[in-house]
Amino acid sequence: MKWRFAGIFLVSFAILMGLAAAINFPHLYRGAVLATVQVVSPVVNGWWLDYDLPGFVDPVVFRHGDSQLPMLLQLPTLSVGMMPLISLVVATPGLGAKRIILTSVVGAILYFLLDVAVVLAYPLIMDRPNMVKDTLGVFTGLIAFAVAPLGLWFALTYSTLRSLWDLSPDRRR
């Protein structure tokens, strides 16, 4: 079963990466995250987000009063994290086609919302940095890029994984 899982994961990952490149998914994802953050940012964190405006030195800038904060996060790169998440779901044995599709869609939405949350937290972390904020910034980046795909996959497929890995509580006690 391990080889089957690995093979399905790798094939689906390669296909998703090819599709993502063909439709320029990283650029589309960046636009969707920035458009969402632009709408909710003033209410959530008090900062206004401007992006891809002519005459701006930086392509993405948060504004608050007279302060401007360029955003250095690479959203197209973060979008790649969605590919292993969906590939893990596709490779999970015993899900069935309908559950694979539903779980992939729910996982993609949750991953997107996590990235939106990271971008919303960005000006709060990066404005007047200090050791605590720097650590928090590294942690949120790690969560968004590395931990999120695996964590979401585990959470969304736990009921199936529990029986596969025999994670049920021991009832003999």
- pLDDT-derived band at 166, boundaries 50, 70, 90: low
Q: What is the mean pLDDT of the chain?
A: 88
Q: What is the pLDDT of residues 124-160, one digit of tens each?
A: 888 877 788 778 777 777 777 778 898 999 999 988 8
Query: What is the 8-class DSSP label of residue 171?
Result: T
> Which strand (E) or helix (H) includes residue 50?
strand 48-51
Instruction: Please state, in angstroms and rounded to a whole number, the distance separating the CA atoms of residues 34 and 43.
Output: 15
